[in-house]
Amino acid sequence: MSKRYDSAGEGGGEILFANTSQIDDLINLARKNSVWYLLFGLACCGIELLQTGGPRADLERFGAVFRATPRQSDLMIVAGTLTYKMAERAKLLYDQMPEPKYVISMGSCATCGGLFQLSYSVVKGVDKIIPVDVYVPGCPPRPEALTEGLMKIHSLVTKERWADKMRARREGTQS
Amino acid sequence: MTVQEIVEQLKATFGEKVGELSETLDPFLTLKAEDLLEIAGFLKDTAGLEMDFLQDETAVDYPDESLIRMVYHLFSYQHRHGIVLKVELDRAAPKVPTLEGLWPVANWLEREVWDLFGVDFEGHSDLRRIMLPDDWEGHPLRKDYEDPTEYHGISHDRPSPIDGFTRVDEKLRQIAAETAAQLAAATGEGESSEESAS
């Protein structure tokens, strides 16, 4: 008698994670080549970010496409001077991004206040409000520098062990 | 019209209320706050003057004189002439009538001056901050303004990453000085060490 898989709770099956490194590689290959970044240009670095996304530096050859919404973004490129007035909005946008998410702090202003360190209204570093993965120095960084920042994000992504994480999560829910 | 001609016309109309034109590179008239609205209205509506454009409205802080000076740049597109007006205000409680009724752009310019200098504009329809967050304390372009220590839990300081590092040349000088001191101590101990050194 053949088993039917039309009732709830049946069908499918257990995936046994035995040797997970290749699954990790496969998952990370897909994730690495589709890092969608949030359009978040705050000041002059925003123009440089546009250039990086444009035809000359062409981030799209790495599968990195800009999205105008945090809901579809994996990467937040904070491009420009972050003021106290904007800081809470930036935090809100970061919180709205789905996990896993990454942050590039682009340029001196986003990294430490840069040119405006002595100002009364500038946040001295994005890392005061959100965790930063890659800092890109420069004022402003050239598109090549930002592209290298993206490469660093790629290397971060490829090192992650997704299958282990999923297994841990699964075991955590089962226990 | 030249600035002098404009001032002569103002004097003919308002007499004592109009002060002397300054002898600076960019000459200006100093007025009293209570006369500002009347004179500005005259400059805007009188045929031949018709200053239809409020180019700029800002303020300068003079803590030594306990003054805040409002600065108004008026310009006429039609006649291609302009004038600069200044109004001196008490720094402790600066108050001046709004020009919003004459030039609508004054709404935002005055909000900016309120935000950064704390000048109160009487009769303004919407006097609130325009640049800084609404709950910001103080007016940053005043000369005695002190930076905030934090805002909503975000600290305002960032320690320098190179604190605690020593420059290489300083380090080398330090090592040289220590070595020299050790050598001096060693040579001072006895003649045998001096001989070995020579």
What residue of A is the nearest CA neighbor of B155?
Answer: A128
**pLDDT score of A1:** 43
Residue in B167, B144, B35 with CA at minimum distance from that of residue B96: B35
Q: Is A45 helix (H, G, I), strand (E, B) or coil?
A: helix
Q: Mutation target for A interface from B139, B156, B162: give the one with most A CBs within 10 A.
A: B156
Residue in B153, B125, B122, B148 with CA at minimum distance from that of residue B136: B148
Nearby residues of A157 by Cβ (< 8 Å), 6 or more positions away = A28, A31, A32, A35, A102
- Shortest distance between the Cα of A46 and any Cα of chain B, in A, equals 20
- Per-residue pLDDT, averaged over B46-56, amounts to 91
**pLDDT digit string, tens, across residues B167-196:** 899 899 999 999 999 999 998 865 554 444
**pLDDT score of B57:** 94
**pLDDT score of A2:** 46
Angle between helices A44-53 and A143-159 (to 10 degrees): 70
Answer whether A142 touches B (CB < 8 Å).
no
Structure tokens at A129: 């409000």
**pLDDT digit string, tens, across residues A108-164:** 999 998 899 889 999 999 999 999 999 999 999 999 999 999 999 999 999 888 777
Instruction: Check residues A8 and A56 and name the one with the higher pLDDT.
Output: A56
> Global pTM?
0.77
Q: Dihedrals φ, ψ of B9, to 5°?
A: -65, -40
- Shortest distance between the Cα of B159 and any Cα of chain A, in A, equals 10
**Element at B53 (helix H, strand E):** strand B53-62
Residue B120 to residue B125: CA distance in whole angstroms:
12
- Per-residue pLDDT, averaged over A9-28, amounts to 67
Q: Picking from A13-22, A92-101, B104-113, which range would have the lowest pLDDT averaged per residue? A: A13-22
Burial of B152 per CB tally in 10 Å (0-12, 13-18, 19+): exposed
**Residue numbers in A near B152 (CB within 8 A):** 84, 87-88
Q: Where are the beta strands (DSSP E) in chain A?
A: 37-38, 66-67, 75-79, 102-106, 134-136
Residue A53 to residue A31: CA distance in whole angstroms:
19
Answer whether B151 touches A (CB < 8 Å).
yes
pLDDT at A42 over 80: yes
